[in-house]
Amino acid sequence: MQKKSISIIGGGIGGLATAVLMAKDGHDVSVYEKNECLGGRASIFSEKGYTFDMGPSRYLMPDLFEKFFNEIGENIHDHLDLAQLSPSYKVFYPEDNTLKNINVYADIDRMADQFEQMEAGSGQKFRDFLKTSGEQYGIGMEFALRNYDSLMDFLRRDVAIKGMKLNIITTIDKYVARFFKTPIIQKIMQYTTVFLGTAPSQTPAFYNIMSHVDFAMGVRYPQGGLHAIATALVKIGKKYGVHYYTDSEVVTVNNEQGIVKNMILKDGTTITSDLFIVNADQARFETEMLPLELQTYTKKFWNKKTFAPSGFIIYAGIDKKLDALEHHNLYFNDNRDESFGAIYDHHVLADDPSIYICAPGKTDPNVAPVGKENLFILVPITNGIDISEEEKLSYRDKIRKIVEEMTGENLIDHIEYERIFEIQDFKDRYNAWKGTALGLGHTMMQTASFRPNNYSKKLSNLFYVGHNTNPGIGVPMVIVSAMLVKERIEEKVK
């Protein structure tokens, strides 16, 4: 392929990783980001001495990060100072009218022993479960690390034979129930579906591969937070001459004779280039920036899709240490049917929500002032609804109470800083379809060849990267998405 000028719309991890790959090959690459900060969902902000990762906080699938850094000829450890967390996370759960807890480790023997004490026979079952997850992870990655053109790709004999080895018929909740009877063990083994933006009852069982990620690989933390990944990508991109423009929202795209001719920024600047790669929300870009006849996927298509939940996030600065918390903490509610029903069926705020709390100060001394705690509190909630100011505050109060129960501490009098981020903020800040936090969920019909393609079928110089296309949701996945769009461009552009 001859050297091209390339405009990337959106400076999320997907856009930043693509910029590095294309610039390293000698192309002239510019990234245009709507917000003040590069990183997209993996942005960062600081207030009153606290530094908050705005979105992702769990560094998972280290093999995929290494694959990417190898591909660009860099040693990942020159860029990221990674700490392995132990425990990986702490789970709080109500049982017999008390709040119990269990630490989860990336140590199969240790977890097997813990589970055995809770349910006779479950230790060996856990080992069996993990053996299958490990085997299927390898096959699953073969499916993830490739582009698809059509359903026929998926049905090719060699692919289909491998696919048969994965559990594609049943769902993860039923699959887990075959192994474990104890509710809390079931919840822990199904919890990884939160990374996929779907309910366990909608998630194909082959995503048990996430248990391999959880219990065999574990959770790492890059010092400085997950935003350090964005910082590293920008540093490498600059080495190859990438130009980065923040506060540069693309508002119009002009097309002519089957190609995107140029795009217009909010300040009126016209940008012309050979290729355009969209990291911005694919659903909103296609339906709002392109005329109907040039949309590969129309509103009708997106409206039928299952989007991941949104999030009700509280960024809180607490003026004391909270000893009961680990770096990552989960509160599993008693009645998960109610909370999943609220998210996926009834589209209301759950009465008894499950909660995730990240306290990165447990590992990183630089994210909170000495003796204080930085909390990222996340409740998955339905997407697509409006939350009134009154509802927002009463939901915040409900969440605060649960956090007080988890920590056994009074919080209200110790909150030095607090910011709430919810559905409307996802829409406003990231142009997210229906305010989804994560993009298209990983149901069976939204996996592999069933996901939207990473190229336009109507405009020959328009491509997509990020969580709505292949392979899917999560920082490691969108980094793979960058490698896939590069392959796609090499295949399509001469």
Ligand X SMILES: Cc1cc2nc3c(=O)[nH]c(=O)nc-3n(C[C@H](O)[C@H](O)[C@H](O)COP(=O)(O)OP(=O)(O)OC[C@H]3O[C@@H](n4cnc5c(N)ncnc54)[C@H](O)[C@@H]3O)c2cc1C
Binding stretches for ligand X (CB under 6 A): 9-15, 32-35, 40-42, 55-58, 60, 249-250, 279-281, 311, 313, 378, 430-431, 437-438, 466-467, 473-476, 478
Question: Is the CA virtual torsion 267, 272, 278, 282 positive or negative?
Answer: positive
Cβ closer to ligand X: 40 or 360?
A: 40
Strand order across the 89-95 sheet:
98-104, 89-95, 328-331, 355-358, 373-381, 310-318, 415-421
Cβ closer to ligand X: 281 or 286?
A: 281
Cβ 236 to ligand X, closest distance in Å? 16
Cβ 227 to ligand X, closest distance in Å? 10
Cβ closer to ligand X: 12 or 224?
A: 12
Cβ closer to ligand X: 193 or 279?
A: 279
- Token digits for 207? 């995503």
Cβ closer to ligand X: 99 or 145?
A: 145
Q: What is the dihedral of CA 268, 274, 279, 285, to 10 degrees?
A: 60
Cβ 105 to ligand X, closest distance in Å? 18
Query: Residue 270 class from Cβ within 10 Å (0-12 exposed, 13-18 middle, 19+ buried)?
Result: exposed
The residue among 465, 480, 223 whose CA lies nearest residue 361 is 223
Cβ 35 to ligand X, closest distance in Å? 5
- 94 cis-preceded (ω within 30 degrees of 0): no
Q: Cα(414)–Cα(422) distance, rounded to whole angstroms?
A: 23
Cβ closer to ligand X: 122 or 231?
A: 231
Cβ 431 to ligand X, closest distance in Å? 4
Burial track 331-358 (b if 16+ CB lie within 10 A, e otherwise):
bbbeebeebbbbbbeeeebbeebbbbbb
Cβ 249 to ligand X, closest distance in Å? 4
Q: Which amino acid is at 329?
A: N
Cβ closer to ligand X: 123 or 439?
A: 439
Cβ closer to ligand X: 35 or 167?
A: 35
* Long-range residue pairs from 247-256, CB within 8 A, at least 24 positions apart, any chain: 247/33, 247/34, 247/35, 247/36, 248/32, 248/33, 248/34, 249/32, 249/34, 250/9, 250/32, 250/34, 250/280, 250/289, 252/289, 253/289, 253/290, 255/290, 255/291, 255/294, 255/459
Cβ closer to ligand X: 112 or 473?
A: 473
Q: Cα(226)–Cα(222) distance, rounded to whole angstroms?
A: 6
Cβ 331 to ligand X, closest distance in Å? 16
Residues in the chain: 494
CB 54 within 8 A of CB 43: yes
Cβ closer to ligand X: 41 or 125?
A: 41
Please name the residue that has the structure tokens 């080495």: 239
Q: Cα(231)–Cα(37) distance, rounded to whole angstroms?
A: 10
CB 111 within 8 A of CB 409: no
Cβ 110 to ligand X, closest distance in Å? 23
Cβ 125 to ligand X, closest distance in Å? 27
Q: What are phi and psi of 32, to 5 degrees?
A: -115, 115
> Could you tell me which residues come within 8 angstroms of residue 323 by beta carbon, excluding any fewer than 6 positions away?
none
Cβ 15 to ligand X, closest distance in Å? 6
Kindly give the interhelix angle for 13-24 and 227-239, rounded to the nearest 10 degrees: 20
CB-based closest residue to ligand X: 12
Cβ 252 to ligand X, closest distance in Å? 10
Cβ closer to ligand X: 34 or 336?
A: 34
Query: Residue 473 class from Cβ within 10 Å (0-12 exposed, 13-18 middle, 19+ buried)?
Result: buried
Q: Cα(39)–Cα(41) distance, rounded to whole angstroms?
A: 6
Cβ 402 to ligand X, closest distance in Å? 18
Cβ closer to ligand X: 130 or 437?
A: 437
Q: Cα(293)–Cα(101) distance, rounded to whole angstroms?
A: 55
**3-state DSSP call for residue 372?**
coil
